[in-house]
Amino acid sequence: MLPTDFIGHLASRGVLPDGQSADIALAARAGDGWSGNIDWGAVTKLTPTALADELAAFYSCSRVQRDDLVGGRFAGAEMSTRFLRECRLFPYENPAGTLKLAIAAPIDKETLRAIELALRQPIALTVTTSDDLEAALSVTLKADQHDAAPEAAASPREDDLDNLRDLARGAPVVRALDDMLRLAVEQRATDLHIEPDGSMLQVRLRVDGMLKTIPSLPVSMAKGILSRLKIMAGLNITERRLPQDGRARITVSGAEIDLRVATAPSMHGESAVVRLLRKGAGLVALDQIGLGARDEGILRKTLQAPFGMVIVTGPTGSGKTTTLAASLAVINEPTRKILTVEDPVEYQIQGITQTQVHPGIGLTFASALRSFLRHDPDVIMVGEMRDAETAHIGVHAALTGHLVLTTLHTNTAAGAITRLVDMGIESFLLASCARAIVGQRLVRILCDHCKESYRLTATDIAADERYAALGVHVGETMCRPKGCEWCGFSGFRGRKGVFEVMEIGPELRRAIGPKTDANDLEAIARREGMTTMTEDGVAKLRAGQTTLEEVFRLTMSL
């Protein structure tokens, strides 16, 4: 919970950090040092940068950037790395030799005094963002990430179950797996891939949608690490011939991380993929996910409808859940009853009743959705329409006075109509209930710290025919990746959506039939002003946010 004196400072300015309403309400109720009233309707949600600015104003100290931190001498070598990460602290000496303590969250007097005693001198506060502080810690403590590798080369054990259990509990295996998971969290990875490959154990991270290799481990550790993962995820350690799925939860740098573990047999032994879901991850506002002005206006208008269906489409990992969560945040008001059924619950939203499916006990999307209709909802969000039964219940809910938000796995927005018809939904029912369909992909965004701008020449256009295909001309300014420590020398940091929003107007409703072709629907939508994902990608290319290769990689195959 935020300190009450800092809460009072924020409330007096009419702002609060995103997702902190509950903390502030609890503090206000407790009356510990502050008991002001909050007009929640007038409160402005703070971005991380704005929160850092408020911290600097509260403590009357200077704001610093990542470069200021890594440019000084790290002064926390004698302090616990876990303590620094969990409390979001970075002690350093600036070039003038002054001892500073960079903070990214409020700090109490006792903690500050303890740090001064540990460093044996007074310390001055500075403020930075959580991202900048974490990046500075990662750069400074990079050498610690490979400590487990030398110890990992323990002699292989015999392949019997008792030794396998002992190996899974051994310090080298535990440290190696912990370090891999910590590195995955620090580098913002969404997935951790562990793959035995003959003479080594290959480890890769999926960061911003792309796989990157990290230092491999001896193949002798494979059985131990896989067994350790199975123990954590509650899987059967004795079964190595069949795929298994399980879940676990860990805490890294004070953040709770849900792990979805999937194992499968391969030619050289078992492989595993670990999906990392940040529990309670902060919501992204609808105006921050990358929607153009027209598309955002259509979506906001549709979300205010009393009934109907809004469908978000795209492949796995294209940001559909983030778009739905941002949409729910727009209409999340005390006057609306909102129910969701998801697998898993990635964003916890205050004021919304969220349910996670559990097929093992019969709690599926269809059964949860059927029960929701008896709970007097105004809005229902279905994480995914995986089967015909769920689709039928969802469509009928949209026709009987409920606003239904859901996702489908299709390549384009228009493809959602033909997909639902293939699942057995009557076309006239779809024409009646569908209000808007959002197609999306995620493109990598160029790192703001190191991207380079350049002006296209005739030689550039002639050398790459893709520019002409996109309608880009000589003289336009583009940006390209360079690479720095902030982005892991990839040139990219973060992803943003490219969208196409198909509003179902009168002409499209008339065109929806049992044998409707997706290309025909898309042609009608484009005549009515819809921009495709490729066109939205080109707009972001011209804005210097991404590259030609990214636009082609994700949209030109459509």
pLDDT in tens, the chain (558 residues): 456 667 767 766 666 655 444 344 434 434 444 445 545 444 455 677 888 888 888 888 999 988 888 878 888 877 777 778 878 889 988 888 889 999 988 888 888 888 888 888 888 999 998 888 888 887 777 644 444 344 433 333 344 555 555 656 667 788 888 888 888 988 889 999 999 887 788 999 999 888 988 888 888 888 888 888 888 888 888 788 889 888 888 888 777 888 889 999 988 888 999 998 876 566 788 988 999 999 999 999 999 999 999 999 998 888 898 999 999 999 999 999 999 998 878 788 888 999 988 887 888 889 999 999 899 999 999 989 988 999 999 999 999 999 999 999 999 999 999 999 999 999 999 999 999 999 999 999 999 889 999 898 888 888 888 888 888 888 888 899 998 888 888 899 989 999 999 999 999 999 998 888 899 999 999 999 999 999 999 999 999 999 988 888 887 654
Contact 556, 535 (CB under 8 A): no
Angle between helices 171-186 and 161-169 (to 10 degrees): 50
Contact 200, 217 (CB under 8 A): yes
d(CA 62, CA 115): 19
- H or E element at residue 173: helix 171-186
Q: Nearest Cα to 420, choosing from 402, 305, 429?
A: 429
Contact 504, 473 (CB under 8 A): no
d(CA 318, CA 441): 5
Q: How far is CA 88 from CA 48, 135, 283, in A?
A: 13, 11, 21
d(CA 392, CA 165): 47
Q: Which domains does the chain have, with CATH numbers?
A: 3-141 (no CATH), 168-278 (3.30.450.90), 293-444+492-546 (3.40.50.300)
Helix (H, G, I), strand (E, B) or coil at 216: strand
Helix (H, G, I), strand (E, B) or coil at 2: coil
**Residues whose CB is less than 8 angstroms from the CB of residue 57 and which lie 6 or more positions away in sequence, other chains included:** 9
DSSP E strand stretches across 418-527: 434-446, 452-455, 477-480, 492-503
Q: Number of C-alpha atoms within 13 angstroms, CB side, residue 203?
A: 23
Query: What's residue 151's pLDDT?
Result: 41
Query: What's residue 432's pLDDT?
Result: 92
Query: What's residue 161's pLDDT?
Result: 53
Q: Number of C-alpha atoms within 13 angstroms, CB side, residue 100?
A: 25
Contact 384, 343 (CB under 8 A): yes
Query: What's residue 106's pLDDT?
Result: 85
Q: Nearest Cα to 546, choosing from 441, 475, 461, 465?
A: 441
Query: What's residue 145's pLDDT?
Result: 46
Strand order across the 62-63 sheet: 62-63, 124-127, 99-103, 89-93, 73-74
Contact 58, 107 (CB under 8 A): no
Outline where 279-425 has alpha helix (H): 293-303, 320-331, 365-372, 388-399, 415-422
Query: What's residue 438's pLDDT?
Result: 96
Query: What's residue 32's pLDDT?
Result: 40
Beta bridge partners of 277: 258
Query: What's residue 406's pLDDT?
Result: 95
User: What is the pTM assigned to this prediction?
Assistant: 0.69
Query: What's residue 536's pLDDT?
Result: 93
Query: What's residue 471's pLDDT?
Result: 84
Q: How far is CA 300 from CA 76, 287, 308, 395, 501, in A?
A: 48, 10, 14, 21, 11
